[in-house]
Amino acid sequence: MSAKRMRYIDVTTRDGHQSLWATRMTNAMILPIAEQMDRVGFDWINLEGGAVFDVCVRFLHEDPWERMRLVAERVTTTPIDIMTRGQSLFTFRFFADDVVELTIRRIRANGMRRITVYDALNDTRNLELSVRVGKEEGMHVAAALVYTLSPVHTDEYYQRVARELVALGADTVMIKDPSGLLLPDRVRTLVPALKAVIGDVPLELHSHSLSGMAEPCYLEAARLGVDILHTASDPLAGGASLPSTEYCARHLAKEGIESRLDRDGLATMTDYFTGVAHRYGFPLAVPHRFDPDLYRHQVPGGMISNLRVDLKRMNLEDRAEEILAEAEQVRIDLGYPILVSPFAQFVIAQAMLNVLGDERYGTVPDEVAKYVRGYYGRLAGEVDPNVADRVFATGPSEPFEGRAGEVIPPALPELRRERGPFDSDDDLLLAAFYSDQELTGLREARRRGAPVYASAADPLAQLIEGLRSGPAGQTISLQRPGLRLSVVR
């Protein structure tokens, strides 16, 4: 019997910093190590998703398309992966089919070889187009089912979703557990249930360790035949992020589940990203404790801290617990939406309005009403009849049964007419996602010209590179055994 090999997708440069460093990893932090990451032996490297794309444009003023190209120039062996939210791509809005199709084609054109798609309602109709175009482009397509805990999200429910994903043509099926709700006990029923319906299609696991449970879940899932694990380099692993690659590879090897990962390469990555944390003042990952509350309200940690900031701004900090308690009820009333973006915001916003307004559901925000009407896709559970009555009291009396993408008119011709001409399809798509005002910073950064990114062949090279940015008029001398460097500028 040959030893089983676990496959790994590295998420350090995507979910790692999204979960722990507020998505603030720049090209200057990623590119120096990219060539070495290519040689570690990952099956894929995940580079961008909705938050990375968005923060690149709006806060870092780095072109996310350019990041794909720059990394693809350096990572030539390991296929690179981009995650999208299906019909909403990198945002929370639903886009017309022509925008979705062009985006998938541009992901491939910019050197990416895999896409991972998911829909927050697990309505696979919202993934059809992305999967089809991804396959046409010759990419590996991973399709995710989003995990949550509720009376309606049973193993049978997930078997239905997994069958649909395979029917769409997904190359792999992924369990995506964004809030870290998965527990080893559930792994023992869910993984065999899914494997029973997806046959030879590989199964991936992606779980955040918000409650310290992802690590035991990964080990258990590997024993039960999960084929691919999503993991991060040690300084960016665990806690709000995903389990550590080193941790999984080390412990699974003891159980006879091998990997082709190069240990020295992993150690270099750990050293390198620890250096990035030190240099830029980012926190190193800290393991989380088991948090019983999480399984009750299910509100992701990031959202709770956002809520507290918002409430503080309004001098309503003392209402936070009441709002979280109401969020539990709102989630039930709305038919158990999974608390990921954008539905987590919907539930929290509705809970805020219910607590702070004069009556529950006295105000229903437009997006919540659209959700109830089925505009975003099929709901997993039933909406409370009283809430449904409120929503359907105005506007059309019937729920929307179709696929969101099919009722949105094509957007590209109008974009070209109103905001074109564009230098490239990539720019056309940026205009589809962002207003001119939101693109101002990126455009200004482009006018300043592209920086040159050095590769960090070794720590000394990195040090010299780091000293390069000092002010003029400096004299720098550096000495090591066998090396003397003196620079005056």
- For binding to other proteins (CB under 8 A), which residues are involved? 21-22, 24, 26, 58-61, 92, 268, 271-272, 274-284, 286, 306-307, 310, 313-314, 316, 342, 345-346, 348-349, 352-353, 356-358, 362-363, 365-368, 435-438, 456, 459-460, 462-463, 466-467, 470-471, 473-481, 488
* Minimum CB distance to other proteins, residue 242 (Å): 18
* Minimum CB distance to other proteins, residue 455 (Å): 13
Burial per residue of 290-313, b for 16 or more beta-carbon CB atoms within 10 angstroms, e otherwise: eeeebeebbbbbbbbeebeeebee
Output 77 or 477, the one with its CB closest to other proteins.
477
* Minimum CB distance to other proteins, residue 49 (Å): 18
Distance CA 279, CA 203 (A): 37
Task: Please give the DSSP secondary-structure letter assigned to residue 120.
Answer: T
Distance CA 402, CA 49 (A): 26
* Minimum CB distance to other proteins, residue 82 (Å): 22
Alpha helix (H) residue ranges in 298-424: 301-313, 320-333, 343-356, 366-372, 385-392, 404-407, 412-419
Alpha helix (H) residue ranges in 201-342: 214-223, 245-254, 263-280, 294-297, 301-313, 320-333
DSSP 178-209: TT----HHHHHHHHHHHHHHHTTS-EEEEE--
Cβ–Cβ contacts within 10 Å for residue 433, how many?
19
Output 20 or 205, the one with its CB closest to other proteins.
20
Output 429 or 456, the one with its CB closest to other proteins.
456
* Minimum CB distance to other proteins, residue 211 (Å): 17
* Minimum CB distance to other proteins, residue 272 (Å): 4
Output 316 or 388, the one with its CB closest to other proteins.
316
Q: Which two tokens stand for residue 18?
A: 């999204």
* Minimum CB distance to other proteins, residue 279 (Å): 4
**Residue 78 to residues 37, 42, 75, 81, 84, Cα–Cα distance (Å):** 9, 7, 6, 10, 19
Element (H, E) at 33: helix 27-38
* Minimum CB distance to other proteins, residue 59 (Å): 5
**Cα 115 versus chain centre, distance:** 12
* Minimum CB distance to other proteins, residue 385 (Å): 23
Nearest CA to 327 out of 304, 357, 350 is that of: 350
Output 161 or 442, the one with its CB closest to other proteins.
442
Distance CA 156, CA 383 (A): 20
Output 103 or 233, the one with its CB closest to other proteins.
233
Output 22 or 407, the one with its CB closest to other proteins.
22
Output 77 or 475, the one with its CB closest to other proteins.
475
Q: Which two tokens stand for residue 305?
A: 């801290």
* Minimum CB distance to other proteins, residue 478 (Å): 5
Output 318 or 401, the one with its CB closest to other proteins.
318
Side chain identity at residue 183, one-letter code: L
Distance CA 147, CA 340 (A): 10
* Minimum CB distance to other proteins, residue 248 (Å): 22
Distance CA 465, CA 192 (A): 50
Query: Residue 389, class by beta-carbon neighbours within 10 Å (0-12 exposed, 13-18 middle, 19+ buried)?
Result: exposed
Q: What are phi and psi of 273, to 5 degrees?
A: -75, -25
Using only C-alpha atoms, the chain has a radius of gyration, in whole angstroms, of 23
Distance CA 165, CA 146 (A): 12
Output 327 or 428, the one with its CB closest to other proteins.
327
* Minimum CB distance to other proteins, residue 280 (Å): 6
Output 17 or 195, the one with its CB closest to other proteins.
17
Output 6 or 364, the one with its CB closest to other proteins.
364
